[in-house]
Amino acid sequence: MKAAVIQFRASTDKEENLKKIISFISKSSAKNATLCAFPEFMMFYTNSSQTPKQLASLSETIYGNFVSSVAKAAKDNRIQVVGSFYEKSRKKDRVYDTTFVIDKLGRVISTYRKIHLYDALGFRESAKMTPGSRISKPVKTSIGKIGMLICYDLRFPEISRSLAAAGSEVLVIPSAWVRGNLKEDHWITLNKTRAIENGCYVIAPDQIGHIYCGRSLVVDPYGKVLLDMKKRQGIGIVEIDLNKVRQTRKVLPLLKNRRTDIYPTLKA
């Protein structure tokens, strides 16, 4: 099955971005993709001067206009969509950084709220966001069972391993990876590592422009980079073959060979 990876520069204007997103969904379907994946913060770019209150005022629920419009586009084009949005939180002046999966009938079949907030390297997402409290179960899609994580989650192998152990064949990682010293090296290395250690595909759509590095990636279960979008905006198309997941996990049975009976015996 074909997956479409979208790399674009989101503006601060929610409606402008929504028009681009709907166009990308239509174009992905025309390219015979059965699923398209968007980067983190596709809803709009949040600059450093935007206050937590301002961000919270622009956030929506899963039933709001933004996700509903994406869902309608998915249904109209008979394609599945993985996207992200700023979700309203009960905590005052805070939002969730949330991903969603929409099926080709326009139904939201899964959501995930980012659990690792980017409080590192001079950034503090917790000043505007509140973390999620659970890992979402893998969900069946046209390209296989997918597990979702978001950007900074990539640096924590526990979440990827938990998703793989629960049956994920593809990890989808919407991201807005900030540029910086060796950051692109980290990005590429971590995506390849998550694919290799779990014997799965990794699909990592990334933001481009502003403070972000681009380099949206797709990595196969043996660590081969199938797609690197470098600095270009647009759509990348990749064939996902679940036989490669099965074959890799057979010859390199890392999930099977884990010693979960011993690991908990180590005490700090």
Structural domains of the chain ordered from first start: 2-265 (3.60.110.10)
The pLDDT value recorded for residue 268 is: 78
- Taking CA 167 as the corner, what is the angle to CA 164 and CA 172, rounded to the nearest 5 degrees? 60
What is the DSSP annotation of 149-162?
A: --GGGGG-HHHHHH
The pLDDT value recorded for residue 244 is: 98
Active-site position among 36, 40, 128, 169: 40
Q: Is 151 a catalytic residue?
A: yes
The pLDDT value recorded for residue 158 is: 97
% pLDDT > 90, the chain = 97
Residues 6+ away with beta carbon under 8 Å from 257: none
What is the Cα–Cα distance from 144 to 139, expressed in whole angstroms? Answer: 8
Q: Give me the phi and psi of 33, to 5 degrees please.
A: -75, 145
Per-residue pLDDT averaged across 34-53, rounded?
A: 96
Q: How confident is the model at residue 22 (pLDDT cuts 50, 70, 90)?
A: very high
Give the dihedral sign, CA 204/212/154/64. Answer: negative
- Check if the beta carbon of residue 187 is closer than 8 Å to that of residue 159: no
Per-residue pLDDT averaged across 213-234, rounded?
A: 98
Q: How confident is the model at residue 98 (pLDDT cuts 50, 70, 90)?
A: very high
Active-site position among 14, 114, 128, 244: 114
**pLDDT at residue 267 is higher than 90:** no
Q: Is 213 a catalytic residue?
A: no
Region of 182 (left: φ > 0; alpha: ψ -120 to 50; beta: rest) is: left
> 50-83 pLDDT, tens per residue?
999 999 999 999 999 999 999 999 999 999 999 9
- Read off the tokens for 183: 């950051």
What is the Cα–Cα distance from 134 to 114, expressed in whole angstroms? Answer: 9
The pLDDT value recorded for residue 100 is: 98
The pLDDT value recorded for residue 11 is: 97
Question: What's the start-to-end Cα distance of the chain, in Å?
Answer: 45
- Taking CA 218 as the corner, what is the angle to CA 159 and CA 154, rounded to the nearest 5 degrees? 25
Active-site position among 36, 104, 128, 151: 151
% pLDDT > 70, the chain = 100
> 201-214 pLDDT, tens per residue?
999 999 999 999 99
